[in-house]
Structure 1
Amino acid sequence: MTTKEVLMNLPKKVSPDAIEGVNTLFHFNLDGDDGENVTVGIKDGVAYSQEGLEGEPTCVVRAKSDNLMKILKGDMNPMMAVLTGKLKISNQGEMLKYAKLFGLM
């Protein structure tokens, strides 16, 4: 499975009850072999993902595609990735808040 496929499937992991009244928008800017831009959001209690970058994000995540995949699989420590610059997050508070909802923690 590619990093893009993982991101596109994130909304399937979200419980509708957990996101009622929630609105957020993430942009994932990925570089690398299967690098892609993906928007993942929650609006009016509905989680969605789409190819490309749409809307004004509350959080932008930048990484090489293979590094993000390592983080998602648990093969790379996300804190160390941030500290070493392999993962850049524009709004870490927002990411932490929603990482559990999206099944990333």
Structure 2
Amino acid sequence: MENKPETAVDIIKSLPERLITEKCPDFEVIYHFNIEGERGGEFTVTVNSGNCTVSEGLNGEPKCIIKATDSDYEDVELGRSNAQMAVMMGKIKVSNIGSMMKFMEMFNRLF
């Protein structure tokens, strides 16, 4: 990755190039991201047979919904705060913890 993404929207849009394809060869799942704030938005992340796409808006039936403010999401993704603590403190809301754990395994971290 040439330029490290810094904003929530850029972090989410960088997911396709951070996908670890050998972690999800036959995996099909949809995630919805609802990131509040001017550096966020609503996004659908689809992982299907080793491919990842990101589209604006919420489309399809998600296995997991992630809700956060842009700054809280950026802090976790950029290593400035701990993901587990952010979830426990309610800064990041996740509808399906098991699916979110799988999500974290499928993508290279930014830090």
Kindly indicate whether residue 58 of structure 2 is the aligned counterpart of residue 53 of structure 1.
yes
- 2:20 and 2:38 mapped to 1: Cα distance? 32
Q: Tell me the number of residue pairs that the alignment of Structure 1 and Structure 2 aligns.
A: 105
Q: Please report the TM-score for the alignment, with normalisation by the length of structure 1.
A: 0.91
Cα pair 2:20 2:108 within 8 Å, conserved? no
Structure 1 residues 5 and 102, CA, compared in 2 at 3 Å: closer, same or farther?
A: same
1:61-105 Cα deviation digits (max 9, x unpaired):
000011000000110111111111100000010010121212249
Secondary structure of the residue aligned to 1:81 is helix
Q: What are the ranges of 5 or more consecutive residues in structure 1 without an aligned counterpart?
A: none
- 2:40 and 2:10 mapped to 1: Cα distance? 11
The letter for the 1-side match of 2:70 is: S
Q: What are the ranges of 5 or more consecutive residues in structure 2 without an aligned counterpart?
A: 1-5
The letter for the 1-side match of 2:36 is: D
Q: How far off is 1:13 after superposition?
A: 1.1
Q: Please report the TM-score for the alignment, with normalisation by the length of structure 2.
A: 0.86
* Backbone CA RMSD of aligned residues: 1.5
Amino-acid identity (%): 31
Kindly indicate whether residue 58 of structure 2 is the aligned counterpart of residue 91 of structure 1.
no
